[in-house]
Amino acid sequence: MEFLGNIWNSFAALFTVTPGWMTFGGWVAAGLTICLFSFLYKDNPFFKVAEHLYLGAGMGWLFQVYLFQTWKPKVFLPLMEGQYSVLIPTLLGLSLVTQFFPRISWISRYGFTFIMGYGSGLVIPLTISTDFLKQIGGTIAPFMVSEINSGNIMSLLNGTFVAFGFICVLFYFFFSVEHKGAVKKASNIGIYFLMLYFGAAFGNTVMGRFSLLYGRFDDLYKYSAPDYFYATHVVLGLLVAYFILDKLVLSRRGGGQEAH
């Protein structure tokens, strides 16, 4: 056992993070980022490698999270301590894995029905109180006597506008009645309110995505510093050289695909 322990300790020692590893990390980060961005020019093997690495790394990350946050502290350790009640959810969970074996895949229904029953039971109070009653309450609130008496005309006007728009949007989504006459007029007005919502959502989406892109560019700028031995420049240069070579080789062979 001591021998195995020593081997494990020697193996673990290889994973010590030193300042050199931090610099190398900058190269890895710059390389992976630029490889993923290279798809914007053209599909290439470097992008595909990075894409598959992301798939594996993403699953690996979740695996280690569940291993150390769920399986070890909530299943393995309680079982070692004799708390056998965790066997019930463990068996329900393991039953899900029988999905892969067609002859016994019906056993997975036990796990699925537990998850679905629990999830459905929880979602009803969530949506009723938060997305339904509170929203209707919020629409009615500006028209309460105390609010009207406070004399805030703008608040009353805005509240009327919201209530009006809200009802028109509901008319738009109500498909049990044919949209004609007054219903059609109301639903057309509802569409304008929806367009305002989608326009604002589009604006925020643009800002959100640009913020993420800014974050990546900021990191690339950091890794282009002398501290990281100009990692960004070197990786970018190598990729550009690859594309130039690729184009030369392709133009000699004739044909090839470009992503437009």
Partner 1 sequence: MKNALEKFLKIDRRLIFLALTVLLFAPIVRPLGLPNKNLGKDVVNVYNYIENLPERSFVMLSLDYDPATRPELHPQAVALIKHALRRNLRVGIFTLNAGATGMIEDIAARIPSDIAPDKVYGRDYVIMPFQPNPVAVMTQLGINIYEIYDKDRNGNPTKDMEVMKGVKSVKDMGLGICITGTAMLDYYVAYVADKYKFPMAGGVTAVSQPGYGPYLQTGQLKGLIGGMKGAADYETLIKDLEKGTSGIDALSLAHVLVIVLIVTSNIIMLVLKYL
Partner 2 sequence: MIFIKKHIPLFICFFVGVLTLGSYYVPNARSENYLEMMNKWENIVAGFAFLLGLMSLFYSHFHKISRKAPGWGYSLFVYVGFLLVVVPAIVSNGQPMSLTNEMTSLGWIYRFVFTSLSGTMFAVLAFYIVSTAYRAFRIKSPQAFVLFAAAFIVILGRVPLGQMMWDGLLGWTGYQVTDVIEWLMSVPVVAGRRGIMIGIAIGGIVTALKIIFGIERQYMGKD
Residue 225 within binding range of partner 2, rule CB under 8 A: no
Find out whether 41 and 243 touch, Cβ atoms under 8 Å: yes
Among the listed ranges 144-152, 158-166, 242-250, 251-259, the one in contact with partner 2 (CB under 8 A) is: 158-166
How far apart, in Å, do the first and last CA atoms of the chain sit? 60
Applying CB under 8 A, among 66, 143, 221, 243 the residue interacting with partner 2 is 66
Handedness of CA 180, 183, 188, 191 (dihedral sign): negative
Neighbours of 232 (CB within 10 A): 23
Applying CB under 8 A, among 6, 7, 43, 64 the residue interacting with partner 2 is 64
Q: Please say which residue, 7 or 122, places its beta carbon nearer to partner 1.
A: 122
Q: Please say which residue, 106 or 161, places its beta carbon nearer to partner 1.
A: 161
Site for partner 2 in 9-28 (CB under 8 A): 11-12, 15-17, 21-22, 25-26, 28
Residue 106 within binding range of partner 2, rule CB under 8 A: yes
From the list partner 2, partner 1, none, partner contacted by residue 218 (C-beta under 5 to 8 A by kind): partner 1
List phi, psi (to 5°) of 114. Answer: -65, -50
- CB of residue 141 to partner 1, shortest distance in Å: 7
Size of the site for partner 2 (CB under 8 A): 119
Q: Which residues bind partner 1 (CB under 8 A)?
A: 40-41, 61-62, 65-66, 69-70, 122, 125-126, 129-130, 134-135, 137-138, 141, 162, 197, 200-201, 204-218, 221, 260
Find out whether 111 and 92 touch, Cβ atoms under 8 Å: yes
Q: Please say which residue, 89 or 248, places its beta carbon nearer to partner 2.
A: 89
Q: Please say which residue, 49 or 206, places its beta carbon nearer to partner 1.
A: 206
From the list partner 2, partner 1, none, partner contacted by residue 92 (C-beta under 5 to 8 A by kind): partner 2
Token representation of residue 196: 């305002």
Residue 127 within binding range of partner 2, rule CB under 8 A: yes
Find out whether 31 and 235 touch, Cβ atoms under 8 Å: yes
CA dist 204 → 79, 178, 197, 213 (Å) = 48, 34, 11, 14
State how far the Cα of 169 lies from the Cα of 241, in Å rounded to an integer.
Answer: 55
Find out whether 226 and 234 touch, Cβ atoms under 8 Å: no
State how far the Cα of 93 lies from the Cα of 225, in Å rounded to an integer.
Answer: 49
